[in-house]
């Protein structure tokens, strides 16, 4: 600030001559001094402004003072260069983190419930590095196991922002109740996990192993030696292992995301113009940045080591779509894999949780 020049003009006269002589006596250097018909102009350093004010009060001269150059925001020094580098580096560093998770559900209450489960149940603390964030398929599996009313969960990543959009299972038309009363029996063997019963007498407990045909919920209530037909209605969920075989071509062609980030471009003409005029331009006129993604088409040969990372997620999604609503897949195990020149074959066990209750009419003698 003290090195900036001031442009000073004053009217000619005896007072002006005494004023200039006073400045010379106090060793104030005057630059580019000019004597016009009625005016004297010159430049002086801002550092000497207190002496100029004293001289003006002593000789009662009227001065016009202004800065010779406008205030420079973008300086030609190491501080400005360092600041510009920070402006570039900080967005790149911040883009490597996940800063926000947005839940988009049908109701505000459901959005709050899902977000609460993400932060408390799954202990997701933001910000978190993108590489350390839970994989999409695992996050989807955990949410669908917790919220059984979801049929699918869309997970979208937009830079450092992740959108979780659960999709509710379509409401099925409730079939008309049969006039004949019924029990609920097991349609498959498994380990009982939980119940959704509206009527009937429960005959099994959670974590109990049942076999196909066992009575899960009885439609007959026994009390004081008497039997009452109450009908059995509801759902009984159990875990069981489901075997699936697969056969896929060994050679596959994939579009793989090879690189992503932000692309920065300098407008050197605008920057040079700003430096010459010693003024600052809007940052967007000097630096432009756009997100980019690069995909590469790769042809790879699948081997046994890639089954867990490549094949199993695809089989998982295919299996979950083939199961009834409210079913979930808790785990999968690879039994064995065989490869030849053309195909990869194997068997996978899926730990499925679904409603295994099916109705059985109550016999007249029961």
- Domain residue ranges in the chain: 5-67, 97-168, 182-236+357-361, 257-293
Q: Are 253 and 299 in contact (CB under 8 A)?
A: yes
Please list, residue by residue across 83-93, b when 16 or more beta carbons sit within 10 angstroms of its beta carbon and e when fewer do: ebeeeeeeeee
- 127: cis peptide before it, omega within 30°? yes
Residue 70: how many other CB atoms lie within 10 Å: 9
* CA-wise closest residue to 245 among 350, 356, 317, 353: 350
CA distances in angstroms from 191 to 196, 307, 354, 356, listed in the order given? 15, 28, 11, 10
97-168: which CATH topology? Answer: Ubiquitin-like (UB roll) (3.10.20)
> Domain 5-67: which CATH class?
alpha beta
Give yes or no for a contact between 149 and 168, defined as CB atoms under 8 angstroms apart: yes
CB 212, CB 189: distance < 8 Å: yes
Angle between helices 136-146 and 312-322 (to 10 degrees): 30
Per-residue pLDDT of the chain (366 residues; tens, 9 = 90+): 445 788 888 888 888 888 888 888 888 888 888 888 788 888 888 888 888 888 888 888 888 888 776 555 555 557 667 777 887 888 788 878 888 888 888 888 888 888 888 888 888 888 888 778 888 778 887 887 788 777 678 888 777 888 888 877 655 545 555 557 888 999 989 999 998 888 888 999 999 999 999 999 988 887 777 777 888 888 999 999 988 887 777 776 766 666 767 676 766 666 666 666 655 555 556 666 677 677 777 776 666 666 666 677 777 777 777 777 778 888 888 877 777 777 778 888 888 888 999 998 887 555
How far the first Cα of the chain sits from its last, in Å, is 102
Question: How far is the C-alpha of 236 from the C-alpha of 358, rounded, in Å?
Answer: 9
Token pair, residue 228, equals: 């009452």
Quick check: 167 and 157 in contact, CB under 8 A? Answer: no
pTM beyond cutoff 0.75:
no
């Amino acid at each position: 600030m003290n090195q900036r020049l001031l442009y000073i003009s004053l009217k000619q006269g005896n007072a002006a001559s005494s004023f200039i002589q006073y400045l010379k006596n106090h060793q104030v250097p005057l630059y580019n001094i000019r004597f016009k018909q009625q005016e004297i102009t010159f430049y002086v350093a801002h550092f000497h402004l207190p002496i100029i004010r004293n001289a003006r009060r002593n000789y009662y001269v009227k001065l016009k003072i202004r800065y010779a150059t406008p205030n420079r925001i973008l300086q030609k020094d190491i501080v400005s260069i360092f600041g510009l580098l920070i402006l570039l580096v900080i967005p790149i560093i911040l883009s490597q983190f996940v800063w926000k998770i947005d839940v988009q559900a049908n109701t505000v209450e459901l959005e709050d419930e899902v977000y609460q489960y993400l932060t408390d149940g799954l202990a997701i603390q933001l910000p978190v590095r993108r590489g350390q964030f839970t994989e999409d398929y695992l996050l989807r599996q955990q949410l669908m196991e917790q919220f059984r009313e979801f049929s699918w969960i869309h997970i979208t990543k937009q830079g450092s922002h992740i959108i979780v959009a659960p999709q509710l299972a379509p409401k099925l038309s409730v079939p008309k109740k049969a006039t004949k009363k019924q029990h609920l029996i097991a349609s498959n063997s498994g380990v009982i996990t939980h119940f959704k019963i509206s009527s009937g007498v429960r005959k099994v407990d959670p974590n109990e192993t049942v076999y196909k045909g066992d009575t899960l919920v009885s439609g007959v209530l026994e009390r004081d030696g008497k039997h009452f037909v109450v009908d059995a209605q509801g759902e009984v969920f159990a875990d069981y292992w489901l075997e699936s075989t697969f056969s896929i071509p060994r050679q596959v062609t994939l579009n793989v995301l090879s690189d992503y980030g932000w692309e920065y471009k300098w407008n050197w003409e605008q920057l040079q113009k700003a430096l010459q005029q010693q003024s600052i331009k809007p940052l967007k006129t000097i630096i432009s940045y756009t997100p980019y993604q690069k995909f590469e088409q790769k042809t790879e040969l699948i081997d046994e080591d890639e089954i867990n990372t490549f094949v199993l997620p695809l089989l998982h999604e295919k299996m979950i779509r083939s199961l009834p609503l409210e079913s979930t897949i808790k785990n999968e195990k690879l039994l064995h894999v065989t490869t030849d020149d053309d195909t990869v074959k194997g068997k996978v066990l899926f730990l499925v949780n679904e409603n295994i209750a099916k109705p059985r009419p109550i016999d007249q003698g029961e």
